[in-house]
Amino acid sequence: MPLADISARIERAVAAAGRPAGSVKLIAISKVQPLERVRAVLEAGQRVFGENRVQEAESKWPDFRAEFGAVELHLVGPLQTNKLGKALDLFDAIHSLDRPSLAKKLAHAVQARGACPELFVQVNTGREPQKAGVAPEDLDAFLAECRGPLDLPVAGLMAIPPAEADPEPHFRMLADLAAGHGLDRLSMGMSGDFETAIACGATHVRVGSAIFGERTTAAG
Ligand SMILES: *Cc1c(COP(=O)(O)O)cnc(C)c1O
């Protein structure tokens, strides 16, 4: 679906929710997409993209940035601490802050650099054992550690609802958790459910296949 159609659907959902125009940011998730599809979306004017692997992002975005100028890049997949330096070189936002060991290393790196990406704490709203994210009941303690001793500026929360479930209760849970902690950014909603996410308060939607077409190889 053309980028303009997705943007129009987002703005319709924003208006239907009685929210101000332009209050939801579209992150175009370009993981494993052929480069010519990514280029077409850049040519259509999109400048906010997301990737789920540091190495893959490193292989395409320095070149695209050289060609197209500033592109805001979001990491939406798991971050291993040995890739932290590279991640900070590449990404403007990290949506997968999900454990104390990563928060500690991130805090050190951010202090050394004097700059911090926009940070989202990933919450495992479905308590799925195979999925990354802080358990809802551990969020209090984790945020206290980030904000207190580590002095990390957490901007918001992110979640990926269980694949087979109705996403709405998960979006509502994430919105409630964010409100309870004074966080106003919510990264939630993908190709199949971004309108529902916007109705529940999403400020950042992560849309891949609806923009680029189906991914032809497996995403990591
Ligand atoms: C791949 C991915 C998306 C985009 O998924 P689509 O269903 O293609 O829109 C969003 N968020 C995360 C974390 C992803 O890994």
Give me ligand 1 centre to Cα 190, in Å. Answer: 6
Tell me the whole-structure pTM to 2 decimals: 0.97
In this prediction, residue 218 carries a pLDDT of: 61
Contacts of residue 110, defined as CB under 8 A and 6 or more positions apart, other chains included, come to 88, 116, 152
> Is the shortest distance between the CB of 191 and ligand 1 below 6 Å?
yes
In this prediction, residue 215 carries a pLDDT of: 83
Q: Which residues of 139-153 are buried (b: 16+ CB within 10 A; e: fewer)?
A: beebbeebeeebebe
> Is the shortest distance between the CB of 159 and ligand 1 below 6 Å?
no
pLDDT along the chain (220 residues), means of 10: 95 98 98 97 98 98 98 98 97 98 98 96 97 97 96 97 96 98 98 98 98 76
Give me ligand 1 centre to Cα 51, in Å. Answer: 9
Contacts of residue 119, defined as CB under 8 A and 6 or more positions apart, other chains included, come to 93, 94, 97, 106, 146, 152, 153, 154, 155, 156
Contacts of residue 44, defined as CB under 8 A and 6 or more positions apart, other chains included, come to 2, 3, 4
List the chain domain ranges.
Answer: 2-214
In this prediction, residue 217 carries a pLDDT of: 66
Q: Of the CATH numbers 2.40.30.10, 3.40.50.970, 3.20.20.10, 3.30.70.20, which one belongs to the domain with range 2-214?
A: 3.20.20.10
| Of 34, 69, 73, 75, nearest in space to 54 by CA | 75
